[in-house]
Amino acid sequence: MVSKKKEKNLLDEQIKNQIFSLYQKLRLEKKKKWNRVLPLSELLIDRWDKAKFLKAGKGTSVYDSSFIFGNVKIGKNTWVGPFTILDGSGGKLSIGDYCSISSGVQIYTHNSVNWAITGGKVKYDRDSVMISNYCYLGPYSVVTMGTKIGKCSIIGAHSFVSSTIPPFSIAFGVPAKIMGKVKIKGKKVSYDFFDK
């Protein structure tokens, strides 16, 4: 006769083996179809279904590893990459149509600096953020509360954006500075960088 503890351990082992078998099957399918190898959660969660659950616009996808808090509105045909933070807990966070929010991007509508340094005597600062249509935010960029990024703008990787970025701008750095302009004529795109 098998003890209840041993029976439970056997059942746990069977479940673990079934999950691993499912993981191997899904991993192989993804590799064959898209030549990608992803974490288990990304194999189980459909990016477009997550976007639909968030009431994002048609054609938008949001990776499972994206953390989303508060009042966040995402337009159509926008890509929200893995390991991103979209924090609308301090105000409205709007992301337009046809945007690329690259891996590791963090967007905040609040900050707790004054709260922390006063031992909680001062409240969090809060303000909305707006990312207009047709913007690209490079990997690991941080966008702070109160920021507005104009349409057709590019934010370079590892940038810290804490001010308004006009439309058709190329901005990068810590803090992000406007370093050039985007020019679009029909299907032709060019970049005009300012002299240093």
How many domains would you assign to the chain?
2
In a domain? residue 39: yes
Same domain for 93 and 151, yes or no, is yes
Closest CA to 156 of 166, 144, 145, 169: 169
Mean pLDDT in order along the chain per 10 residues (196 residues) = 73 87 92 90 91 97 96 98 97 98 98 95 96 98 98 98 97 96 94 84
Same domain for 76 and 167, yes or no, is yes
Same domain for 27 and 93, yes or no, is no
Same domain for 32 and 88, yes or no, is no
Same domain for 91 and 17, yes or no, is no
Same domain for 102 and 165, yes or no, is yes
pTM for this one? 0.88
DSSP 18-45: HHHHHHHHHHHHHHHHHS----HHHHHS
Angle (nearest 5°) at CA 194 between 188 and 196: 150
Rg (the chain; Cα; Å): 21
What residue numbers bound the domain in which 27 lies?
1-44
Q: What CATH number has the domain bearing residue 127? A: 2.160.10.10
